[in-house]
Amino acid sequence: MAEKIRIKDIAKQAGVSVGTVDRVLHKRPNVSKSALERVEKALKEMDYQPNMYASALAHNKSYTFYCLIPKHASEAYWEEIEMGAMKAVEQRRDFSIDIVIMYYSRLNPQSFIDTYRKCLEKNPDGVVLVPTTLDLTRQFTDELHERNIPFILLDSYMPSLQPLAFFGQDSIQSGHFAARMLMLLARNERSIMLMKQTKDGKMASRQQENREVGFRNYMAKHFPEVDIFDVNLPLDEERKRYDGILEKFFTTHPEVHHCITFNSKAHIVGEFLLKTKRHDIQIMGYDIVHKNADCLRAGSISFLIAQHAYQQGFFSIDTLFRAIVLKKKVEQTNYMPIDLLTKENIDFYLRSWDL
């Protein structure tokens, strides 16, 4: 382990006073040109690495990061992101960091506009953003760039927006993976069901759209003979109507034994299968929200693909902290692992949430 370099060691090497070194390190005035050059030369020769934590604490500045995420029900995927973000703030409590979480309706463009305008009024130090459409999100991020406010994208990667960083899965690869895992179970099947949730014909996120693209590309290449039946459970319908839609589908298609969805609502189908005692049908989905986990343990969900939502929330705040407070360089593209969960390993996975 390298020996810690003290200010008096630097002063001795440079032939100046300790006070002069302190002024140089903290970029204070009243340092002569020759003294500055001697200190900088000594710092380079000694390979001095400043203690950024101590420096940040010395400034005693407060920071507020804003998180803009979709409105959601309790126990949803987004709640995990919130928990992770709050955990990161808790771990950095010595640095006077706070977060404000703002919600918008993902299927209502005006809701997003109103929310980001309120965010801008607060002049945030950094932003964590779950984007909507590219054009609409760009309106917000262009303003953030103009104000020199760093932002991080979650869920959907839009590199043309030039975020400080992105955390999430490679959605296309995730779709490939989902297809491959599903067909390990359904290799001899001639048809599968794809459950969607849309409003006005549109999915809630670009991430889900890209997963479907990856899924269909894999299926077209490796299982072109398999029919894929789309079943839509509209987002603007009452939940009780879903049972009727599912009952009609499975009655009409008794040959279907395997289903998949690319959102976090596999439990809608899973609970229906348990309630109607259809033990020869299973669904595969995303995210370890509690209702999904219950269906996985009960056997109506075969697999869940996890994308570390808790860690995404944690790392997004931690990355803003490192970039803004500690002035450190951060990695821009951060793809999360694609984990496959079954009833045998989900409880071990849940224990790893708390960082």
The reply to whether domains 5-49 and 61-168+307-336 share a CATH topology is: no
Looking at residue 73, its pLDDT comes to 73
**Sign of the torsion formed by the C-alpha atoms of 313, 318, 321 and 322:** negative
Average model confidence (pLDDT) for the chain?
A: 89
Give the tens place of pLDDT for each residue, 11-39.
888 898 888 887 887 777 778 888 888 88
Residue with tokens 């140089």: 24
* Portion of the chain with pLDDT greater than 90, in percent: 64
Cβ-based neighbours of 27, under 8 Å, separated by 6 or more = none
Is the pLDDT at 201 greater than 60, yes or no?
Answer: yes
Helix (H) or strand (E) holding 141: helix 134-146
Q: Which CATH architecture has domain 61-168+307-336?
A: 3-Layer(aba) Sandwich (3.40)
Domain 5-49 has CATH 3.90.420.10: no
| In this structure, CATH architecture of domain 170-304 | 3-Layer(aba) Sandwich (3.40)
Q: Is the pLDDT of residue 2 over 50?
A: no
3-class SS of residue 137: helix
- Residue 223: predicted pLDDT: 97
Give the global pTM: 0.78
Top mean pLDDT of 68-72, 76-80, 150-154, 326-330 is at 150-154
Q: Which helix (H) or strand (E) holds 185?
A: helix 171-185
d(CA 249, CA 267): 17
Per residue in 33-92, pLDDT (tens digit) is: 888 888 889 888 877 766 655 555 555 688 999 999 998 876 677 888 999 999 999 988
Please state the rounded mean pLDDT for residues 133-138: 93
Which range, 68-77, 192-201, 270-279, 323-332, is most confident? Answer: 270-279
How many degrees, rounded to 5, is the angle at CA 152 between CA 289 and CA 122? 100
Q: Give the end-to-end CA distance of the chain in Å, rounded to a whole number.
A: 26
Q: Give the residue with greater pLDDT, 31 vs 352.
A: 31
Q: What is the pLDDT of residues 244-283, one digit of tens each?
A: 999 999 999 999 999 999 999 999 999 999 999 999 999 9
- pLDDT above 70: residue 104: yes
Provide the pLDDT for residue 11. 86
Instruction: Give the pLDDT band of residue 351 (cuts 50, 70, 90).
Output: low
Bridge partner residues of 99 (DSSP): 65
Each domain of the chain, given as residue ranges in start order, spans 5-49, 61-168+307-336, 170-304
pLDDT at residue 1 above 50?
no
As a whole number, mean pLDDT of residues 127-144 equals: 95
Contacts 24+ apart (CB under 8 A), 184-190: 185/258, 185/282, 185/302, 186/226, 186/257, 186/258, 189/226, 189/255, 189/256, 189/257, 189/258, 190/225, 190/226, 190/227, 190/255
Q: What is the pLDDT of residue 50?
A: 64
- Tell me the average pLDDT across 289-299: 93
pLDDT of residue 299: 95
